[in-house]
Amino acid sequence: MLPDATVGIPHHPLRTQLANEVHARPYELLTAPVQASHLAILSDESLLSSERTMISALCERFDVAPPTASARHYSADMGIFRLKWERHTEFSTYTFFHAAPFKQPFQSTAIELIPKEWLKDLPGELLAAIHVALIPRDYPKSDIEELATHFASNTVTGSQVAGGAAEVWTDFHIHADGFSRFLVQDNTLRSRQAGRLIQRLCEVEQYRILALLAFPLAQRYGQTLTRLDQALNNLTGKIVDIDNLQDEHQALEALTGLAAELEQISSSTSYRFSAAAAYYDIIHQRLDDLREERIQGVQMLHEFMERRLAPAMHTCQSVNQRIQTLAKRITRASNLLRTRVDVSMEGQTKDLLKSMDRRAHLQLRMQETVEGLSVVVLSYYLLGLTGYGLKALKSAGVGVNVELGTGIAIPIIITVVFFAVRRLKRLAGHGKEEAS
């Protein structure tokens, strides 16, 4: 444990953890003869606690200290075998080592020392299973025909690795027991070097399978992308000929459907394709770490992997690129069509505003006409009342000229009525403004 500060400067809370990360998951110290059985099991992160429980049960069975409650990797000597467990992002690995002389490298294996009922209860689905046999340097070397007998007479791939310190042989096949096989001939390997070599070989095989998990997705969605691409081509070709708003809305709806279907494909494949690219990079790194040298007449490991794995990975990259390109094309077509719809709607809005303006102008003229008629009507009735009043005065004995009085009242009444109507109109408009 470090003190809280060094030279008076407080430590970052993650300093120790990050500094020790390069020392985590060390390679095993191995000396030939050694047999190893490696399992890579695909399992969700939620099963981590179950994996720790299984490791703890095995430790209790062999009276060994179990892993800590937060451990993501563990290594321990169980007596008759050695266990190494590692938890990765989406899978876990279990490697069992057995250091003892053997006559046939794959006749009896390290996995046979593990309790079968314990193996059956491991959570997850088996993705890769590998047997590795490390032959000591004093064992007689076999020719290629004799080596093939250890691989069911399949075509054998091999090379010198680690600067000639060892020879590696494999056929990359899954054999009748469900395991693939690597045979390693020790020439001048050191114990730490042997541990690194076996781990790298197991990782090459497990990451090969993990990378290929994306290949069925690429095959499944390849034809779907072709159909979507053709549908998009047809839609974009029709956009130019669209001349009404209804067809534009229908085309936009079709584009939205294409975008939704493509988004579903993208969400189903993005993680797998990204993981495949990362795993493919790890495979290249592990093969480079082997530092292969050719054995005359034998295909090397990296040549086999490039010839078989590279086309599948390129297919995955191509499909992933097609998804991204198609998404951009759909977005551009949607933007173009939305622009056309917006322009059409703006034109319709402009026409509607013009129509409303004409209607308002007509209403104004009608209102002015009505106002003029109102002045005439009101003046007519007031003049009638004035005439009746003058007639009444004349009948009462007042010397009034009815016709002359009526004529004089005409301009006065018309003027008063006109300004009264104008005033009422202004008062009504002011009241509407206050209400709004």
> Is the domain of 226 the same as that of 144?
no
Most confident option among 246-260, 282-296, 323-337: 282-296
Residues 166 and 247 in one domain: no
Residue 160 included in any domain: yes
Quick check: 29 pLDDT over 70?
yes
Q: What is the 3-state secondary structure (H, E, C) of the chain?
A: CCCCEECCEECCCCHHHHHHHHHCCCCCCCCCCEEEEEEEEECCHHHHHHHHHHHHHHHHHCCCCCCCCCCCEEEEECCCCEEEEEECCCEEEEEEEECCCCCCCCCCCHHHHCCHHHHHCCCCEEEEEEEEEEECCCCCCCCHHHHHHHHCCCCCEEEEECCCCEEEEECCCCCCCCCEEEEEEECCCCHHHHHHHHHHHHHHHHHHHHHHCCHHHHHHHHHHHHHHHHHHHHHHHHHCCCCCHHHHHHHHHHHHHHHHHHHHHHHHHHHHHHHHHHHHHHHHHHHHHHCCECCCCCCCHHHHHHHHHHHHHHHHHHHHHHHHHHHHHHHHHHHHHHHHHHHHHHHHHHHHHHHHHHHHHHHHHHHHHHHHHHHHHHHHHHHHHHHHHHHHHHHCCCCCCHHHHHHHHHHHHHHHHHHHHHHHHHHHHHHHHHHC
* Mean pLDDT confidence for 193-208: 95
Q: How confident is the model at residue 338 (pLDDT cuts 50, 70, 90)?
A: confident
Residues 335 and 388 both lie in one domain: no
pLDDT at residue 424 is higher than 80? no
pLDDT digits (tens, 9 = 90+) for 34-58: 999 999 999 999 999 999 999 999 9
Nearest to 305, CA basis, from 332, 335, 334, 285: 285
Q: What's the pLDDT band for 261 if we cut at 50, 70, 90?
A: very high
Residues 41 and 129 in one domain: yes
Position 340 pLDDT exceeds 80: no
Q: Are residues 286 and 257 in the same domain?
A: yes
Q: 343 and 373 share a domain? A: no
Predicted pLDDT of residue 385: 81
Range scoring the smallest mean pLDDT among 126-130, 224-228, 380-384: 380-384
Tell which residue, 39, 51, 81, 30, has the closest CA to residue 205: 39
Q: Is the bond leading into 33 cis (omega within 30 degrees of zero)?
A: yes
Q: Inform me whether the pLDDT recorded for 343 exceeds 80.
A: no
Residues 126 and 262 in one domain: no
Angle between helices 301-395 and 191-212 in degrees, nearest 10: 40
pLDDT, position 160: 95
Report pTM. 0.75
Q: Is the pLDDT of residue 435 over 60?
A: no
Give the pairing of strands 157-161 and 166-170: antiparallel
In this structure, is residue 383 part of a structural domain?
yes
Residue 309 has a pLDDT of 92
The whole-chain average pLDDT of the chain stands at: 87
More confident residue, 225 or 388: 225
Nearest to 219, CA basis, from 79, 127, 316 = 316
Of 151, 176, 206, which residue constitutes the final position of a domain? 206
Q: Could you tell me the CATH number of the domain that includes residue 309?
A: 1.20.58
Across 372-387, average pLDDT: 76
Of 154, 175, 206, the residue at which a domain comes to its end is 206
Whether 224 is in a domain gets the answer: yes
pLDDT band at 1 (very low <50, low <70, confident <90, very high): low
Structure tokens at 435: 């209400």
* pLDDT tens-digit series, residues 209-256: 999 999 999 999 999 999 999 998 888 877 767 667 677 778 888 888
Please give the pLDDT value at position 90: 93
pLDDT reported for residue 322: 94
Q: Do 37 and 180 lie in a common domain? A: yes
Percent of the chain past pLDDT 90, that is, above it, reads: 54
User: Nearest 5°: phi and psi at 162?
Assistant: 55, 45
Per-residue pLDDT at 432: 57
Residues 200 and 124 in one domain: yes
Kindly state the average pLDDT of the residues 100-106.
Answer: 91
The tens digit of pLDDT for each residue in 154-191 reads: 889 999 999 999 999 999 999 999 999 999 999 999 99
pLDDT at 60: 95
How many structural domains comprise the chain?
Answer: 3
> Looking at the predicted structure, is the pLDDT value of residue 433 above 70?
no
* pLDDT, tens digit (0-9, with 9 covering 90-100), for 60-89: 999 999 999 988 999 999 999 999 999 998
Q: pLDDT at position 253, please?
A: 85
Residues 113 and 62 in one domain: yes
With 60 as the cut, is the pLDDT of residue 14 above it? yes
> How large is the average pLDDT for residues 301-307?
90
Whole-angstrom distance, CA of residue 306 vs CA of residue 313: 10
Query: What's the domain range around 371?
Result: 361-425
Q: Within its chain, how far is the Cα of 395 from the centroid?
A: 105
305, 260: one domain: yes
pLDDT at 80: 93
CA nearest neighbour of 111 among 127, 97, 91, 126: 97
User: Is 433 within the bounds of a domain?
Assistant: no
Position 162 scores a pLDDT of 93
Residues 202 and 232 grouped into a single domain: no
Highest mean pLDDT range out of 220-224, 367-371, 419-423?
A: 220-224
Structural domain ending residue among the three candidates 310, 328, 349: 349
What's the rounded mean pLDDT across residues 253-280? Answer: 92
Tell whether 61 is covered by a domain. yes
Q: What is the percent of the chain with per-residue pLDDT over 70, rounded to a whole number?
A: 92
